[in-house]
Amino acid sequence: MLSRIRLTLKQHRFETIAVTIVCVGLTVAALIEAYRLNSLNVPLSCLQSYQGGYMGPSQAPVTAAQAHCNELAKSFNDMRGSLDMNLVQLLLLFAPILAGIVVGAPLVAREIEQGTAPLSWALSGSRRRWLLGKVLAGVFLLAPLMLAVGLAANVLEGALNPGLNPYASFSNYLGRGVPDVFWALAAFAGTFALGTVLGRTMPAVVLALVVCFFVRATWDAGMTHFVLRQFAVQQVQQDQQQQQGYMVYGPGGPGNADMYVYYKSFIDGKEVTDAEVNAWYNQNMVCVPMPTQSASTSPADSSSPGASSSPGASSSPGAPATPDNSKMGDNGVACQGPNIDPSHMPQQVQYVIPGSWYWQTIAFESGLLLLGSLFCGAIAFVWVDRRRPY
């Protein structure tokens, strides 16, 4: 069996060397990027207080220490958004699936295509034993390489999000760590199964790329909607407070260690629909025009509770909420919250998979990917015995 594995790696030497170079190079690149970020030693507080290049009018004077803090935070953010960092992150995302396809596609298909399969089958004694040797060679090549890539991706994730424990957070959890190994194995198994069925390398590559794109793109949503939904628990206040230390900085803004699954809305302890919550806010929120240059609504538009600005007088998303429970848009419309006990206001309860369940979730999803891989492998083993040798 060992000779067969060695022979397989030799037969596919270009793919073997290419995948090895890319994976080792990517691992080293990810570790270097993580080291560069860590060596900046930016305090977490600097990242939390940094507001980008914008200085608000009400911002307190910037002290020399704060200015230094801002410079550190900017250099951190610049490095995060740099071209090399983006390239490494992009490659980390695609590497497992591409490696699986590249190794899996020619495994069976090339021998059938080149007409060498019948001789190999005859020499091996059994087609299944022949396929087993080739599959083991692929697994022995991919598993350690992908584990190295996944662990390096974990280190990079920790460096990109200071204060975040990558092993207790669902931030980008399917693109790093152990799942990388199982993505690669799933892509590998699916592709060599396609190669066995089709018997041609390029068609196997083309189909595998399409299938893998869809599976990867729909996996998160599918898992969240159909599988993890039943395991989600109500997010507790303690978790929310703990997550203050797990701020994830990036283009998407602060993130969470917990995996958000769904939410429910309540008014006075009774579960309500979104439409009912909207109706509540429309009844109780008062919107008035502010005396600024850009205000475009007349006072009459919003003189009574429930009235709001004219349709054109809306403001941009994310208008900041003022401390007295009011919100102001950038075109001069302010909405004042009701003067009622906050406990009677609509409450939104989030249902999440807590970050502390990281390993259970990883084990579960990896198990599903492994099952899929075994299923594809089984198809290949059944099919290789029955297929024409050309």
Partner 1 sequence: MLDRVRLTYKQQRFETVAVAVVCLGAAAWALLASWHLNSVGVPASCLVDGGVPYWNGPANSSWIPVACQLPSQRFTDALTSLDVGLASSLGDVLPFFVGIAMGAPLVARELEQGTAPLSWALAGARWKWLAGRILAALLLIVPLLLIAGLAADVLRGAQEPGIDPHASFDYFTSRGVFFVLWGVAALMGTVALGTLFGRTMPVVIVALIVCLFARATWERLMDGNLLHGMAVLEMPGVQSPGELLVYQSDVLYLDGKVYTGTDCWVSNGVPGCQYGPGDQPGPSSIGPQLAWYVITGDHYWRVVALESAVMLAGSAALGAFALFWVGRRRPY
Taking CB under 8 A as the criterion, which residues in 361-390 touch partner 1?
Answer: none
Give the range of 65-73, 126-134, 179-187, 189-197 binding partner 1 by CB under 8 A. 65-73
Candidates 253, 299, 311, 323: give the one binding partner 1 (CB under 8 A).
311
116 binds partner 1 (CB under 8 A): no
55 binds partner 1 (CB under 8 A): yes
79 binds partner 1 (CB under 8 A): no
Give the range of 136-144, 239-247, 319-327, 381-389 binding partner 1 by CB under 8 A. 319-327
- The beta strands (E) that lie in the chain are given as 233-234, 259-267, 270-272, 286-289, 321-322, 326-328, 333-336, 347-353
348 binds partner 1 (CB under 8 A): yes
217 binds partner 1 (CB under 8 A): yes
Give the range of 139-147, 161-169, 308-316, 371-379 binding partner 1 by CB under 8 A. 308-316
Please enumerate in sequence order all residues whose Cβ is within 8 A of that of 334, keeping only pairs 6 or more positions apart, or say none.
287, 288, 289, 290, 322, 326, 327, 328
User: Considering the complex, what minimum distance in angstroms separates the CB of residue 123 from partner 1?
Assistant: 23
195 binds partner 1 (CB under 8 A): no
Give the range of 28-36, 151-159, 182-190, 201-209 binding partner 1 by CB under 8 A. 201-209
Of residues 203 and 389, the one with the C-beta less far from partner 1: 203
309 binds partner 1 (CB under 8 A): yes
The neighbour count for residue 282, using CB atoms within 10 Å, is 13
Residue 289, burial from CB neighbour count under 10 angstroms (0-12, 13-18, 19+) = buried
234 binds partner 1 (CB under 8 A): no
User: Considering the complex, what minimum distance in angstroms separates the CB of residue 319 from partner 1?
Assistant: 5
106 binds partner 1 (CB under 8 A): yes
280 binds partner 1 (CB under 8 A): yes
Phi and psi based region of residue 99 (left: phi greater than 0; alpha: psi -120 to 50; beta: remaining): alpha
315 binds partner 1 (CB under 8 A): yes
346 binds partner 1 (CB under 8 A): yes
User: Considering the complex, what minimum distance in angstroms separates the CB of residue 210 from partner 1?
Assistant: 7
Instruction: Find out whether 342 and 318 touch, Cβ atoms under 8 Å.
Output: no
CA distances from 248 to 152, 165, 290, 384 (A): 18, 11, 35, 48
Instruction: Find out whether 349 and 235 touch, Cβ atoms under 8 Å.
Output: yes
Instruction: Find out whether 104 and 205 touch, Cβ atoms under 8 Å.
Output: no
For residues 15-54, which are near partner 1 according to CB under 8 A? 15, 18, 22, 53-54
285 binds partner 1 (CB under 8 A): yes
Binding-residue total with partner 1 (CB under 8 A): 81
Q: Which two tokens stand for residue 122?
A: 């005859």
CA angle 19, 23, 29 (to 5 degrees): 145
Nearest CA-CA partner of 362 in 112, 133, 183, 96: 183
Nearest CA-CA partner of 246 in 167, 152, 348, 346: 167
271 binds partner 1 (CB under 8 A): no
d(CA 139, CA 12): 14
338 binds partner 1 (CB under 8 A): no
Of residues 205 and 228, the one with the C-beta less far from partner 1: 205
For residues 241-260, which are near partner 1 according to CB under 8 A? none
Candidates 62, 122, 236, 363: give the one binding partner 1 (CB under 8 A).
62
User: Considering the complex, what minimum distance in angstroms separates the CB of residue 298 from partner 1?
Assistant: 14
Candidates 308, 356, 368, 375: give the one binding partner 1 (CB under 8 A).
308
For tokens 């970050």, the residue is: 355
314 binds partner 1 (CB under 8 A): yes
Strand order in the sheet with 286-289: 286-289, 333-336, 326-328, 321-322
Candidates 327, 375, 381, 383: give the one binding partner 1 (CB under 8 A).
327
200 binds partner 1 (CB under 8 A): yes
Instruction: Find out whether 228 and 261 touch, Cβ atoms under 8 Å.
Output: yes
